[in-house]
Structure 1
Amino acid sequence: MSVETANRNITELLPIGQTACRLLFQECYKSGIRNVFVTETYRSQARQNYLYAQGRTRPGPIVTWTLSSHHQSRLAWDIAVGPPNVLYDASILNKVGAIARKLNITWGGDWVGSVDRVHFQIESTWKIPSGYKLEGTVTIPTSSTSQIQFDTKEEIPMSQLWNPVSPAMQTAAEAFIEQAIKDGIIQAVHLQDLQNKQMTTDRLLGLYITIDQRRNATK
Structure 2
Amino acid sequence: MALTDLAIRTAKPDEKPRKLVDEKGMYLLIQTTGAKLWRMNYRFDGKQKTLALGSYPETSLGQARDKRDEARKKLAQDIDPGEQRKLEKQERRTSLANTFEVIARDWMKVRGKEWSEEYAGKTRACMERHAFPSIGSKPIKDISAPELLAMLRAIEKRGTVDMAHRIQQHCGAVFRYAISTGIADADPTPAFTERYQRSKLSTMLP
TM-score (structure 2 length as normaliser)? 0.25
Larger helix fraction of residues: 2
Larger Rg: 2
**Whose relative contact order is higher, 1 or 2, with alpha carbons under 8 Å and at least 6 apart?**
1
TM-score (structure 1 length as normaliser)? 0.24
